Amino acid sequence: MQDLAAPPHCRYFEAGVCRSCTFIETPIDAQLRTKQERCAELLPAVPAAAWLAPVSGGVAGFRNRAKLAVGGVSGAVTLGILDRGGAGVDLTECLIHEPDIQAVIPFLADFVNASGIEPYSVPRRRGELKYVHVTVSPAGELMVRFVVRSEHGLGVIRSRVDWLRELLPQAAVISVNLLPEHKAVLEGEREEPLVGSALAMELGEGLTPVTLYLRPQSFFQTNTRVALALYEQAAAWVDAIEPASLWDLYCGVGGFTLFTARSASGTRRDVLGVELSEQAIRSAERSATEAGIPATFLAGDATEFALAADPAELPELVVVNPPRRGIGDTLADWLERSGIPGVIYSSCNPETLAKDLERMQSYAVREARLFDMFPHTGHLEVAVLLERRP
């Protein structure tokens, strides 16, 4: 029987061709201890007794999204990463991807090779196809996205999409993203749908699972099992507080909003989600409607929304799940003076979390938990429950 805590044997790492999983040769329990110690050092506001047991992200097959850089030459492409010189490094058998993703990468390579589309060369600034992104749902359905430089690449893939559907019948969403600029980014602003519109991510078990809908440019946590644990932890904290009203700022496609909308007893809360992306808001509204949850969602900037709010209509609890930069001084200061009794802060960057907590001295950390969303790397997710001091 395989030891699930033992380091996997990655031939790419051992050969020195890919070092993205910096700590893959370190046992996962040692990785968790190191991350926990780092959090404790960066977050002195968290009492030692407040830390709950960390949630492990697994050792292999945990990543629900593959971001595959395209290299090589037309007819002999590589799907993986680019080395420092811009040459393609094939990572077809990368161990961190979920098995359903690993299984389809060879088919995607066959499709790209047969299409004759030219891989984009970063050093020469020539070529067409830059990336292939693949996301898998818990049900095994796929979202496949091709990032190309121009209309030509879009046309090539569009003309062969029926064949791609035959190769990958489990692909619920297929789209093409256009990135004409020479930038070190994974996608451009323009997305052209070819098949479907959203990938259904059914989370949770029992009678009331929640289905979140990911559109091609939506954000979702890269480790589905750990994401569910994060949502369930937030729901448990909210149930313990029993607020009548809740705001979810930076709500994305509505994960925190929908998981915290129902109490353990089944009663409803007044919940509101705010997110800048209109696409994400439409997805969240669809999820709420299907689940029968009367949540409200607004498209807009979270900080601007909070600053414009009527002081008489503030909620009893706020959930924030910002990008790596944190919520920033303005929103942290607003929360500090708002009088709101509780905050749940989910962060993918403990350094900016520490900075924000420094500006929120009226809140005490009651509980905190590390979520190992990104095993074998130094990245992590940490969530804290804040309660306003008497």
Name the H helices within the chain: 11-14, 28-42, 99-115, 151-159, 161-167, 224-241, 255-260, 278-291, 302-308, 328-338, 350-358
Number of C-beta neighbours around residue 199 at 10 A: 25
Tokens linked to 365: 């950390």
**Helix 350-358 to helix 28-42 angle, to the nearest 10 degrees?**
20
Q: Is 55 left (phi over 0), alpha (psi -120 to 50) or beta?
A: beta
State the catalytic residue, choosing from 18, 39, 251, 348: 348
Distance CA 189, CA 280 (A): 15
CA-to-CA distance for 344 and 300, rounded, in angstroms? 20
Rounded CA-CA distance 53/13 in Å is: 30
How many angstroms separate the CA atoms of 63 and 223, rounded?
5
Q: Are strands 171-178 and 142-148 parallel, antiparallel or unpaired?
A: parallel
Distance CA 181, CA 92 (A): 27
User: For residue 116, what is the DSSP state?
Assistant: T
Residue 77 sits at φ, ψ, to 5 deg, of: -80, 160
Amino acid symbol at 99: P
Look up 94 and say whether it is catalytic.
no
**Active centre residues (catalytic):** 348
